Structure 1
């Protein structure tokens, strides 16, 4: 906690930047048309309001004000980041104590550009060296409002160009969060969470790419805008509004990534430009780990200028190197009951990809020799339409399993996607081709 003997004086100080704004009503989110089996119960009314004060000085750390307001209004209150105040956060905040609280962001919250501090003090998750500025957890937490959260991404993009091994934090880590409505996220150990109506921007203004700007790591955009809802049914992600006028842009990263131990998730109504697509995985990265991804439904997603539309990526059963900072292989697990339904695409390199040689694609012999023990079963791709880029034409899809035993019951129906020359061929390996509404090729 923060101990500051001057806090009471600071909180009572009047200033032009401390003008109380009217609070908003909590949004009423409709989860449709694909709804969870057990939707979250509505939160009770809140009984008090705490306005977050600030120094109104970007060189000063407002973390103490944030922490104080959240403590004061925890267990039944409503915290407001007020319009007209730009808040600066320079301290890693562990907010896993939250309970029955609404947090309304009307303003801008910016994290400092002190990369040395954040690398040393941000919260670490075991998975893929993920770190986070914030760690949010608790029960019945609603975060909403029309404000902006700025992770100061440019300094990280430029630093990563010099050293790919730096630990770059995600904006928020959700750890042990239940029955809540929330924003921006790495998600772990959480259930009953709704994530809805978010705009995300992560564009690089220098020659250095905005690398790995994934929208969501589930159990985990260059320029991104999105709206979401996550739930248990465990997680639920959606954009309930009309897609007209909105663009969700994700470059060099997955639009949504279902990481190990992601289950019971619905994703619907998303528009992604420039991403790696809707991805299951990567899985099987860690030797000795058993990864599970199952009961996932992806519905009504538009994907443009992307490397993939829908994909499943699994590491082989041998140490492999995808890049200097991405290595793995040798893990076990299962992927089961995954549905990609209604996807519209344009200039996507690969409409459908199932790959059990992730990180080792250039050495198929080695991949087939060290077959992944991770199984992929009951996978549905249906109602796809649009065009691919010319990168892989005449092929529009690739379904490659390391062995016939590894994959079962993979189907593709109503696939109305063509390459620029009008073909819809697919590369297939160790898979039942009769269940795929595609042309076929192979090794």
Structure 2
């Protein structure tokens, strides 16, 4: 296992670089919004056809109406978004046309692929998913509604950068990153709040999810959302997260994985440093499905809401220099592991059935306030078949949000082998 210092140094040394000052392009396409207010997608695709290789594509300071799905691939291109791309509110249309992303029966409205691409917004460019109609229509469904689309999917995108963009009210996940590598995602702002007073932040509006991707860096993100801020899912490797602020989220999620029976999946070499969490449920947590397929799914025994039985491992994760404020939301431990995600616990010993090995996970230098009626700092439910090893918690100063007292609930553990830096004080509720 790398030490915390060497792991963070490795992450900083391997941040993908991208030269913002691309050479001047004589091949420039300015995208026009039709004056009659109709769909701008034909004009976008025309610009990509003309300038999608060795060119520059410019969205001006206006609102572009997006009413069609897009599947695009660009090479050596700068995309400058100065205005707003706003998706239509026609739910039935998107449910019928959204594009599959190839995992968990999820779909998207834009697959954005390519090589050596710089997509940037200078802090003003905005993607507006018109998510309010989705939040109100899908409000009764806690789980993932079939074909509710992601706002954008970075699919088969390599050696590229996404910078200075704002995402507002995403339809579902904001950004899925799949089959991509060597990306730097910097200065991204996401606000997926429900506009209705008292309704807060809707479920399944993750900031970003990585799948089958390598060497992905997130820096200077601000996320307000009702679900995971950033989630590393199947075969996410060498993921670096730094200098981010998350509000009302579920924190950093490693998983879930092991949902597909007998598939081999991993999460390996993840570093997260200098992260602030406000009013969130957890800081960083790990989740795998059980080793026995199960689940409670209104739409049948299929992903995204049912499954299990996958193989693989989670290894070498470092969470360092975290500040938390009012974390826990009444019941959650700031750090947690579960290998019983969505499992049908009426099945005997199902929470001990996973064969996903979890090892070498460090939480270090974490301070702030917790709103947690149990008072627990960590809850680590590992599988009896493959107990967790190399679990470390160091230099933690967490205090009750009410009276400022040191959090004294301790650490709940099931099948944690030789914990480092802490002592197990009880067992988890999952057995």
Report the TM-score range of the alignment, normalised by the length of the smaller protein.
0.7 to 0.9
Equivalent residue for 1:442? 427
Q: Is 2:78 aligned against 1:88?
A: no
Residue 135 of structure 1 corresponds to which residue in structure 2? 111
Map Cα deviations across residues 298-319 of structure 1 (whole Å, 9 max, x no partner).
1111112111111011111123
Cα distance in structure 2, aligned partners of 1:37 and 1:199:
23
Of 244, 248, 264, 1:270 maps to: 244
Q: In structure 1, what is the equivalent of residue 40 of structure 2?
A: 62
The one of 375, 388, 397 aligned to 2:378: 397
Alignment pair present for 1:353 and 2:336: yes
More deviation in 338-347 or 258-267? 338-347
User: Which residue of structure 2 aligns with residue 329 of structure 1?
Assistant: 308
Gaps of 5+ in 2: 1-7, 166-173, 299-303
Change beyond 3 A, Cα 1:198–1:401 = same
Q: Greater shift after overlay, 424-433 or 282-291?
A: 424-433
Query: Aligned match of 2:83 in 101, 107, 111?
Result: 107
| Separation of aligned partners in 2, 1:374 and 1:175 | 27
Unaligned runs of 5+ in 1: 1-30, 221-230, 241-246
Give the conservation status (yes or no) of the 8 Å contact 1:46–1:77: no
Kindly state the Cα deviation for residue 392 of structure 1 after the two structures are TM-superposed: 2.4
Contact 1:404 1:431 in 2 (8 A): no
| 8 Å CA contact retained: 1:410, 1:435 | yes
- Partner of residue 5, structure 2: none
Q: Distance in 1 between matches of 2:396 and 2:296?
A: 30
How many Å separate the matches in 1 of 2:31 and 2:245?
34
Q: Give the length in aligned residue pairs.
A: 390
TM-score (ref. length: structure 2): 0.84
* Distance change (3 Å), C-alpha of 1:260 and 1:434: closer
CA distance in 2: counterparts of 1:305 and 1:218, whole angstroms:
24
Matched, 1:313 2:280: no
Q: Distance in 2 between matches of 1:346 and 1:297?
A: 21
Following TM superposition, where does structure 1 have runs of at least 4 consecutive aligned residues deviating by more than 4 angstroms?
Answer: 31-34, 322-325, 361-365
- Structure 1 residues 363 and 150 mapped into 2: Cα distance closer, same or farther (>3 Å)? same
User: Which residue in the other structure is 2:149 paired with?
Assistant: 169
- Larger CA Rg, structure 1 vs 2: 1
Deviates more, 1:172-181 or 1:42-51: 42-51
SS at 2:395 equivalent? strand
Of 299-308 and 203-212, deviating more is: 203-212
Question: Which of these residues, 144, 159, 165, is aligned with residue 137 of structure 2?
Answer: 159
- For the structure 1 residues 137 and 441, does the alpha-carbon distance in structure 2 shift closer, same or farther, using more than 3 Å as the test? same
Q: 1:35 aligns with which of 6, 9, 12?
A: 12
SS in 1 for 2:148: coil
For the 8 Å contact 1:322–1:358, the answer to whether it is kept is: no
Offset at residue 434 of structure 1 (A): 4.2
What's the TM-score once normalised by structure 1's chain length? 0.82
User: Residue 380 of structure 1: CA displacement?
Assistant: 1.2
Matches within 5 A, 1:19-418: 34-37=11-14, 39-40=16-17, 42=19, 44-48=22-26, 49-58=28-37, 60-83=38-61, 85-96=62-73, 98-145=74-121, 146-161=124-139, 165-182=145-162, 185-206=175-196, 210-219=202-211, 234-239=215-220, 248-251=223-226, 253-321=227-295, 324=298, 326-349=305-328, 350-360=333-343, 366-368=349-351, 370-393=352-375, 395-403=376-384, 405-418=386-399
